A = this chain, B = another copy of it.
Amino acid sequence: MVQYVSPPLDLSFAALSDATRRGIIDQLGRGNASITSLADKFQMTLTGMKKHVQVLERAGLVVTQKVGRVRTCKLGERGLKAEAEWIEAHRKLFEARFEALDEIISEMRQEGRDD
């Protein structure tokens, strides 16, 4: 059983902050793909697509492998576990806040606001 050390959340959240890159993940979920096929699908130069894939790769979300002249991209084995855990933990934080009593009280005081 291999151990994956997740790259910092910085890298994966940054990778996910771009719609094209989220689209690439979507696409790779339907099957592996070459750089060229992705570039076609997302209407972008090869070089541009290569950079996006590199961002995903540095984040550990995608793994690539070159055979002959084509580089095939697939979803990384580490998945989105660390990201899901951060989000879930903090989602609970958000909810806990709204249930807190002092929150309700301070809502009641909101008359005197100016912004």
Contacts and interface: CB of A to CB of B under 8 A. Distances in A.
B91 A87 contact: no
A83 B76 CA distance: 20
Given A29-B97, A65-B115, A91-B80, A17 B22 contact: no
A97 B71 contact: no
Interface residues of A, number: 48
A88 B80 CA distance: 8
Contact of A90 (B25, B64, B96, B115): B25
Interface of A: 8-11, 13-14, 16-19, 22, 25-26, 28-29, 32, 64-67, 71, 74-77, 79-81, 83-84, 86-88, 90-91, 93-98, 103, 106, 110, 112-115
